[in-house]
Amino acid sequence: MSPFGRDLFVMRILIVDDEPLARERIREMLKKETEIEFIGEAANGAQAIENIRTQKPDIVFLDIQMPDMDGFGVLETLGAKTLAQIPAIIFVTAYDQHALKAFEFHALDYLLKPFDRERFRETFKRAKAQINQHAGDEPNQRILDLLEQLNSAPEYLEWLTIKKNERIILLKVEDIHWIEAQGNYALLKFKESSQLIRETMDNLEAQLNPRMFVRIHRSTIVNINQIKELQVWSPGEYRVVMQGGKAFTLSRGYRHRFDAFLKKRLL
């Protein structure tokens, strides 16, 4: 018998995702699995919390990005006592750089959309192994460690993750020289390479350390450590020259912010 009073190999499964097609895909991939029981689906964080508390699933497929509450918000709301009773949580995400960083450095597993059958089988196999090793009176320490890490995480973004085929590349934010808007994308310029990500300048600016990065134009954010000099371009206008010679216009609309940024660093 399992610690939950049921046959150890009958796994109760809950699927949490705000996209119906995503939930359907997981159900379809589990069709050939035996000794499982679907106990429900949830389309948002509130439904997920209610189902987890009342149904006590063994495996939760938990979407990271949901409109009302993200996956980590669900875990934080549930708290340590409830999480201790969940043998396996599998994160599911289309692509979220912050979430990916979190579970790249922890033992929790995840599915990166779009995932194939082989990747799903590998993940589900790990989940079953985790259930077999789970002791009902011991907390799921991996999840508790993750929550502790999230609660004490740095205020600003330190790493970015870029998905390339079947790889996830980690990039240190402080190595970015500048960022330029490219339509609905942002071009990140490093010393010897560039990366294009689907992100707005406003969202990036909000996540970057303001002691290191400053926005000088609607379409440009620069790393202050990579600025070589300022040049007077015309009365009241400046050019920001980066290491290596790349120059940007300091927009009048961002001039006061740039001046305030510099004053904090002048002796």
> Quick one: 185 and 252 in the same domain?
yes
Mean pLDDT throughout 45-66? Answer: 91
In a domain, 1, yes or no: no
Asked if residue 83 has pLDDT above 90, the reply is no
Rounded to whole angstroms, how far apart are CA atoms 53 and 108? 21
In a domain, 2, yes or no: no
Least confident segment among 26-35, 126-135, 238-247: 126-135
Instruction: Report the CATH number at residue 48.
Output: 3.40.50.2300
Read off the pLDDT of residues 119-144 as tens digits, 9 standing for 90 and up: 898 888 888 887 777 544 454 566 66
| 109 three-class SS | strand
| Structural domain for 224, as ranges | 159-263
Q: Is residue 202 part of a domain?
A: yes
Beta strands in the chain (DSSP E): 11-16, 36-42, 59-63, 88-93, 109-112, 159-164, 167-172, 178-182, 185-189, 194-197, 213-217, 220-223, 227-234, 237-242, 247-250
Instruction: Pick the last residue of a domain from 95, 121, 151.
Output: 151
For range 227-252, the mean pLDDT: 87
List the one residue out of 127, 60, 121, 65 whose CA is nearest residue 94.
Answer: 65
Question: Residue 117 falls within a domain, yes or no?
Answer: yes
Give the residue-averaged pLDDT of 224-233: 88
Q: Is there a single domain that holds both residue 19 and residue 133? A: yes
Structure tokens at 23: 């939930």
Tokens encoding 145: 């460690």
Cis amide bond preceding 87, omega within 30: no
42 and 142 inside one domain: yes
Q: Does 79 share its domain with 189?
A: no
CA geometry: angle 263, 181, 167, nearest 5 deg: 110
With b for 16 or more beta-carbon neighbours within 10 A and e for fewer, the 141-167 pattern comes to ebbeebbeeeeeeeeebebbbbeeeee
Instruction: State phi, psi for 37 to the nearest 5 degrees.
Output: -140, 120
Q: What is the mean pLDDT of residues 37-63?
A: 92
pTM here?
0.53
Judgement on whether residues 196 and 239 belong to the same structural domain of the protein: yes
Domain boundary among 118, 151, 184: 151
Please state, in angstroms and rounded to a whole number, the distance separating the CA atoms of residues 250 and 30: 55
Rounded distance between C-alpha atoms, residue 72 and residue 182, angstroms: 30
Q: Are residues 219 and 243 in the same domain?
A: yes
CATH number for the domain spanning 246: value is 2.40.50.1020
Residue 44 in tokens: 């948002």
The number of domains in the chain is 2
Same domain (yes/no): 42, 68: yes
Which one, of 23, 8, 33, lies nearest residue 62 by Cα?
23
pLDDT at 4 over 50: no
126 and 16 co-located in one domain = yes
pLDDT of residue 148: 66
The reply to whether 144 and 166 lie within a common domain is: no
Distance CA 128, CA 225 (A): 48
